[in-house]
Amino acid sequence: MIVSDIMSSSNEMERKSQEYIDYFERNTARIPNIERLVKILKSDKNPGHIVHAEFVKRFFEGGVFKITDIEVKCKGIDVDIELEHDINLQIWHGASVSTHNIIKGKRSALGGVETDWVKDELKIKEKLNQLPNKEFGLLICYNFHIGIVLLPECINNIPDNKAIGELFHTKCDGTYQNEARLYYSSTFKYPSLAEKVISALGFQNVTVSYR
């Protein structure tokens, strides 16, 4: 597992951040613009940046894809990791409204857990809109408690150059296994490439959901 749903302590967050800072500073010349992520890790300790850093490390060490840029921000575009100059990734350690309510222990008047489908879809659209509109874009959402929830109509509205990859872990016979779900519309242009990117992160067991 990359991070737990609740990090054990601020000291642990500090230790993990420094571990990645040291690693990237040893490889500054080999990962284009990695100093941008190092700056973030030094100034803001949170699990989302740990996930981002771990994924950069996995792509770098795996060698399946070449990292060509980090933290690309321009005219509304926000790409966390760029591979091969035209594969754009946005990393999100996020979750649905219902997941956040479960974590907070919030219950509805009827005893269930309140959700907000509109807010969920708006957040997903916001993240997808940060990716370029022409090249392949993948929003990677990594394991935050029980994660995100996508309605069929939300899946169908994903642009045909973009997809969502939800990465999580399941426990089987006492050990954790990496699992992934890919969400994209029926007109999506890059299904094989999306699976290859997810697989390069160590999540080979991929289930596809599309409309």
Question: Own/partner pairs for 165-174, CB < 8 Å, 24+ apart?
Answer: 165/138, 165/139, 165/140, 165/141, 165/194, 165/197, 165/198, 165/203, 166/141, 167/140, 167/141, 167/142, 167/143, 167/198, 167/201, 167/203, 168/142, 168/143, 169/1, 169/143
Percent of the chain with pLDDT over 70: 83
The pLDDT score that the predictor gives to residue 75 is 86
The pLDDT tens digits of the residues spanning 135-181 come to 999 999 997 666 677 878 889 999 999 999 999 888 777 788 899 99
Residues 67-79, mean pLDDT to the nearest whole number: 95
Q: What is the pLDDT at residue 6?
A: 47
Whether the full predicted model's pTM is greater than 0.85, yes or no, is yes
Q: What are the pLDDT digits (tens) for 168-201?
A: 888 777 788 899 999 999 999 999 999 999 999 9
